[in-house]
Structure 1
Amino acid sequence: MRRLIAIAIATLLAATVSVAQAAGPRDRLVGDDAILSDYAADTWHSFVKLVEPRTGLPADNIGGDLHPRSRSAYTSPTNIGMYLWATLAARDIGLVTEKEARERIGRTLDSVERLERHEASGQFYNWYHPTTRELLTTWPEPPGHPVYPFLSSVDNGWLAAALIMVSNAVPEHRDQAWQLATSMDFSCYYDPDAKGPDAGAGLLRGGFWVEGGAPPDSDGYPRGDYCGMAEDVVYTGHHYGAFNTEPRVASYIGIALDQIPAEHYFAGWRTFPDTCDWNWQGAQPVGEWRTYLGIDVFEGTYRYSDKLVVPTWGGSMFEAMMVPLVVPEIEWGPDSWAVTHPLYVEAQIEFGLEEAGYGYWGFSPASDPAGGYREYGVDALGLDPDGYAADAEGLTLVDTGWDDPDCPREPAPIDEYGEGVVTPHAAFLALEVAPDATLANLANLADDFPDLYGRGGFKDAVNVATGQIADRYLALDQGMVIAAVANHMLDGGLRDYLSESLEPSLRPLMEMEQFGATRTTPNDDMRGAR
């Protein structure tokens, strides 16, 4: 029998998993919290092994054996941010003492202060060596390939979010963490004319390179200094236009620090409009125009089964559900995020269990069990016309067509499903809105694929058709796992550390918006979402 009850999975983990760290309050936990506490403890153990002890900087990934020799020789601002909030989560759950957490965070902050960064903007580059703290200009694995130092808006957003959390959660490091966060100028990514001079608000660029340090294929990319820097930079050729994607964390930070205008919140596309000019997008949207702060917003949605949801770019879980780990979007957006997030999660569940029939769900960018890293998602939930496939063979791309006589597009339904690739972190992201479904899914994965769960918790991904495992742990994905567990066990307590700094600026914006997301037919079966 594939479905395990809570006692069965707890027994399984107790017998096969070495749960690290202390007992204390965890001894008194029962039921779901006991299971989640074990998940958290093992996930934290992976962070202990990911981190370079001398510098306090986490590697990007480590092998499934957790041996130090398998640590990657590179890290990023996002990875550092994940370790900082993982340490807060471990402290609050009771896996480490306040003293140990304080010392770990202090060591990391001291290293962050020593990292080379772009002086004019205060932004951090994308890749550093976790042992030497050096900015990478040559890729270490395999060596020899050049690295063109890049300043990423989304990666810096995650680091700034974690620094603000530390400033609110650890009094001894308040000033140091706050100074680091507020010295990062996110206005350097903001392009006020990205949607045209009459749009009323602009978008964030993906990032920039310093002039002279850009890759050879960047010759046609825009150059400028519109954020007031004393030097020209080379900007990426794209903006982050889709709203329901993880780069919105950088938007939130920039708005909260008064570096980006509040109107920017309404500039991103919920979907692209339903006109022939936009009929290249993933599906024909349903929605209407509304105006907020003088900005016209198309409150578009995509239809999935009996649900109208605000899509992400690729249809993955972390695009939609990573930000609410640290920002209470569901609480602050009762007519927007509170409606679409549960429906989006339910659509992922329905796809995995019913439409594709994989038997499991949770589709998000992760390690490819066959090697490397890949983007996975539910194509029908993404704006990208090329989509993120949910399986190893790329067979789950669907075209629902476009019903307009002036620009018709014939539907191309899915007629077969291949080898589904599921990543556990994507299931953990659903804890807030579908706890029962999440626990059942994780139990099934641990039961049916014993090699998927190791001393560091769930490994990164599994091909559910072949059983092939991506035998490593990623700091990014482990950070999402432990944050989701901490919020569930502590009633959103980890989220509070960022929300107290963002609430005055962001909550009024979220409260005023009404997405078009809804359920189109009555359905009381939320698969554990209630």
Structure 2
Amino acid sequence: MNRRRFLTAATASAAAVCATGPSAFAATASRARTPSDTQLLRTWFEATYRSITAMTTELGLAADKIDVSGASTPVPSPQTSPTNIGCGLWSTVAAAGLGVISGSLMHERLGRAVAAVERLERAHGFWFNWYDAHDGSVLTTWPESGDAVRPFLSTVDNAWLVTGLRIAADADPALRPRIARLLAGVDWSYFYTPYDAADPVAGPGQLLGGYWPDKPGKGEPTGFHYGALNTEPRMASYHGIADGTLPTDHYWHLFRTLLPGMGQEQEPEGGYVTVDGVRVWQGHYTYRGRKLVPTWGGSMFEALMVPLFVPEPEWSPHSWGTSHRRYIRSQIEHGLIEEKYGYWGFSPASIPEGGYREYGVDGIGMQEDGYNSLGVVTPHASFLALPLVPDEAVANLKALDRNLGAYDDRYGFRDSVDVTTGRVSDVVLALDQGMITAALAQHLSPGLLQRPFRTGGFRSRVRPLLGKERFSI
């Protein structure tokens, strides 16, 4: 866009925020939303789903990304991951549920994707972290650099593929037997280190980040566990608790904050409680006078990707629901008041100039050297907030489109934009577009993608845990 137009728009927006504060912004956002917004959101969904189909290879797998800066049809990247494949699956179900594609086309696309997943090499029942999106082979060399890739089994990435497969099975009964066979070998205890009261450091009752399976036995584990509760790996925890391969007390061994005295972003407040026989540190952080449960790095997707599928705000309104809303408010105030960007929404994404990094709000993450916003706004972060603060999310996205040109009529919102320079990313990522399709589906047709996570073990095992949750906020 014209640089003078960008500087004028950004300066005016920031000045207005400084003059009015967050309550006035909320009122402006509410006034900005009109009945036509529903159609606008559908238009945004259609463009985003076009990017998913553009990323999908002949094999049927959603690739990692595409470059949408040129005039020609973009070419899918060579690589894909279990998360990307899961995003492709649930995006197709969402497209059919919203009437963007027909049921028969959904069946065709899901069938092709499931057939491709059936061909992928696995180990210990789980999928490797990187495959060639065009032929399904396990990647051993990184396409862009030629560097060696050591095949890895990622806990969190497998969780998102299983999420997509469960959604596909729910939407297409003809695929259920095939997907059931795929999921029969998934046992989350493979990643689990049982709790050891005598040595809770070595035996924390948590999930490892994953394994390199090229060593004897189970393979070589990562040197860390996913200890923080309010991060996206809790989707793996929910899957394991729901299917019975993880004990329910695993949920209570996850950290709301790190314990007092441990190195973290701020010294937490709170207290110990005993739940289901487990002594739990119910800690919280305070950010701009607001109590909340932090994530690890302070990014939006850590907190808000999971509730697109598992209805945490509904099942735990005074704990999860309250913390999610305060987390969003903190992201909004960071962008509009603390940094005076005029825009908000910070989450890992493409660097506008090229590459990838984590963006977030340092003060709401536990990591001492946490993620920072650096003036880079990521549109998918606003979409993650859409189900809970729709007026403000829509207003922010409209402004990113209007003032910064962050929206592409062909393929939806670009992955990121540096609001201090006006530089917009050339690419879109399957992960971030998949979050956008899921958030729009949840807003336009609540529960559309949540059906598999409201029944069975999610209802009988996970929901009671969330009902017992009492954050100290």
TM-score (norm 1): 0.81
Distance (whole Å) between structure 2 residues aligned to residue 364 and residue 110 of structure 1:
32
Query: Counterpart of 1:136 in structure 2: which amino acid?
Result: L
Retained in 1: the 8 A contact 2:153–2:211?
Answer: yes
Distance (whole Å) between structure 2 residues aligned to residue 469 and residue 182 of structure 1:
43
- The offset of 1:348, in angstroms, is 0.5
- Alpha-carbon spacing, 1:354–1:451, altered in 2? closer, same or farther (3 Å): closer
Distance (whole Å) between structure 2 residues aligned to residue 454 and residue 465 of structure 1:
23
Retained in 2: the 8 A contact 1:270–1:299?
Answer: yes
Is the aligned partner of 1:58 residue 2:13?
A: no
Distance (whole Å) between structure 1 residues aligned to residue 39 and residue 409 of structure 2:
18
Is the aligned partner of 1:122 residue 2:125?
A: yes
Distance (whole Å) between structure 1 residues aligned to residue 111 and residue 208 of structure 2:
32
Is the aligned partner of 1:40 residue 2:42?
A: no
Query: Counterpart of 1:288 in structure 2: which amino acid?
Result: G
SS at match of 2:142: strand
Is the aligned partner of 1:455 residue 2:410?
A: yes
1:425-464 matches, cutoff 5 A:
425-464=380-419
Distance (whole Å) between structure 1 residues aligned to residue 94 and residue 33 of structure 2:
23
Query: Counterpart of 1:496 in structure 2: which amino acid?
Result: R
Distance (whole Å) between structure 2 residues aligned to residue 180 and residue 207 of structure 1:
19
Retained in 1: the 8 A contact 2:312–2:321?
Answer: yes
Partner of 2:21: none
Retained in 2: the 8 A contact 1:41–1:95?
Answer: yes
Match of residue 356, structure 2, among 373, 379, 384:
373
SS at match of 1:494: coil
Partner of 1:180: 182
1:418-497 matches, cutoff 5 A:
420-497=375-452
Query: Counterpart of 1:240 in structure 2: which amino acid?
Result: Y
Retained in 1: the 8 A contact 2:55–2:75?
Answer: no
Query: Counterpart of 1:126 in structure 2: which amino acid?
Result: N
Retained in 1: the 8 A contact 2:257–2:282?
Answer: yes
Distance (whole Å) between structure 1 residues aligned to residue 468 and residue 406 of structure 2:
47
Retained in 2: the 8 A contact 1:326–1:499?
Answer: no
Match of residue 91, structure 1, among 96, 102, 118:
96
Is the aligned partner of 1:208 residue 2:211?
A: yes
Partner of 2:286: 303
Deviations 1:318-371 (A, max 9, x none): 000000011001111123201101011111001111111110000000000121
Partner of 1:241: 227
Deviations 1:463-501 (A, max 9, x none): 001001111110000000010001101123222233324
Distance (whole Å) between structure 2 residues aligned to residue 38 and residue 78 of structure 1:
25
Retained in 1: the 8 A contact 2:380–2:432?
Answer: yes
1:108-257 matches, cutoff 5 A:
108-118=113-123, 121-142=124-145, 144-193=146-195, 197=199, 202-212=205-215, 231-257=217-243
Distance (whole Å) between structure 2 residues aligned to residue 336 and residue 131 of structure 1:
44
- The offset of 1:48, in angstroms, is 1.0
Partner of 1:514: 470
- The offset of 1:8, in angstroms, is 8.8
SS at match of 2:121: coil
Match of residue 79, structure 1, among 68, 75, 84:
84
Deviations 1:353-394 (A, max 9, x none): 111111000000000012100000000000000010110xxx
SS at match of 2:302: helix
Query: Counterpart of 1:306 in structure 2: which amino acid?
Result: G
- The offset of 1:193, in angstroms, is 3.9
Query: Counterpart of 1:122 in structure 2: which amino acid?
Result: G
Retained in 2: the 8 A contact 1:281–1:385?
Answer: yes
Partner of 2:9: none
Distance (whole Å) between structure 2 residues aligned to residue 305 and residue 164 of structure 1:
39
- The offset of 1:96, in angstroms, is 0.2
Can you give the 5+ residue segments of structure 1 that lack an aligned partner in the other structure?
11-29, 213-229, 392-419, 518-530
Distance (whole Å) between structure 1 residues aligned to residue 365 and residue 31 of structure 2:
37
- The offset of 1:165, in angstroms, is 1.5
Deviations 1:195-230 (A, max 9, x none): 754699600000001234xxxxxxxxxxxxxxxxx8
Retained in 2: the 8 A contact 1:60–1:74?
Answer: yes
- The offset of 1:194, in angstroms, is 7.0
1:323-334 matches, cutoff 5 A:
323-334=306-317
Match of residue 327, structure 2, among 344, 347, 359:
344
Match of residue 246, structure 2, among 257, 260, 266:
260
Retained in 2: the 8 A contact 1:169–1:497?
Answer: no
Deviations 1:82-133 (A, max 9, x none): 0000001100111100000011000000010000010xx2000000011111
Distance (whole Å) between structure 2 residues aligned to residue 368 and residue 194 of structure 1:
41
Partner of 1:397: none
- Alpha-carbon spacing, 1:196–1:113, altered in 2? closer, same or farther (3 Å): farther
Higher helix share: 2
Distance (whole Å) between structure 1 residues aligned to residue 29 and residue 273 of structure 2:
46
1:351-370 matches, cutoff 5 A:
351-370=334-353
Partner of 2:3: none
Distance (whole Å) between structure 1 residues aligned to residue 265 and residue 32 of structure 2:
42
Distance (whole Å) between structure 2 residues aligned to residue 340 and residue 6 of structure 1:
22
Partner of 1:416: none
- The offset of 1:437, in angstroms, is 0.5
Q: State the structure with bigger RCO (CA 8 A, min sep 6), 1 or 2.
A: 2
- Alpha-carbon spacing, 1:195–1:154, altered in 2? closer, same or farther (3 Å): farther
- Alpha-carbon spacing, 1:451–1:389, altered in 2? closer, same or farther (3 Å): closer
Query: Counterpart of 2:251 in structure 1: which amino acid?
Result: Y
Query: Counterpart of 2:43 in structure 1: which amino acid?
Result: D
Distance (whole Å) between structure 2 residues aligned to residue 159 and residue 195 of structure 1:
33
Distance (whole Å) between structure 2 residues aligned to residue 306 and residue 31 of structure 1:
36
Distance (whole Å) between structure 2 residues aligned to residue 293 and residue 190 of structure 1:
19
Query: Counterpart of 1:515 in structure 2: which amino acid?
Result: F
Partner of 2:16: none
Aligned-residue CA RMSD in angstroms? Answer: 2.0
Distance (whole Å) between structure 2 residues aligned to residue 232 and residue 40 of structure 1:
42
- The offset of 1:64, in angstroms, is 1.3
Distance (whole Å) between structure 1 residues aligned to residue 377 and residue 49 of structure 2:
21
SS at match of 1:140: coil
Distance (whole Å) between structure 2 residues aligned to residue 174 and residue 209 of structure 1:
30
Deviations 1:401-458 (A, max 9, x none): xxxxxxxxxxxxxxxxxxx100000000001111110000000000011254341100
Distance (whole Å) between structure 1 residues aligned to residue 83 and residue 338 of structure 2:
34
Partner of 1:17: none
Can you give the 5+ residue segments of structure 2 that lack an aligned partner in the other structure?
1-11, 14-24
Percent identity, aligned pairs only? 45
Distance (whole Å) between structure 2 residues aligned to residue 205 and residue 355 of structure 1:
36
More moved, 289-298 vs 200-209: 200-209
